[in-house]
Amino acid sequence: MSPNSVISGSVRSAAELNERIRALWLRANGSLSTQERAEYELLVVEWATAIRADMVTAA
């Protein structure tokens, strides 16, 4: 996953991203490779963006 794949105003929900993060950790058996770490970091940034968008919408 490249850094360009993170879209401003994520199209994926926070719940979906959370599930992807959990699945990544399960597949990695608790120890991320360099590539998995990069994917994890991108997912967390996208998740945080989705959470912020949800909070703004709720306000």
Looking at every residue in the chain, the average pLDDT score rounds to: 85
Pairwise CA distance, residues 32 & 48, whole Å: 20
pLDDT at 26 over 60: yes
Give me the mean pLDDT over the 46-59 stretch: 85
Give me the mean pLDDT over the 8-36 stretch: 91
Amino acid letter, 36: E
Give me the mean pLDDT over the 42-55 stretch: 92
Percentage of the chain beyond pLDDT 90 is 68
pLDDT at 32 over 90: yes
Domain layout of the chain by residue ranges: 3-58
C-alpha count within 13 angstroms, C-beta hemisphere, residue 2: 2
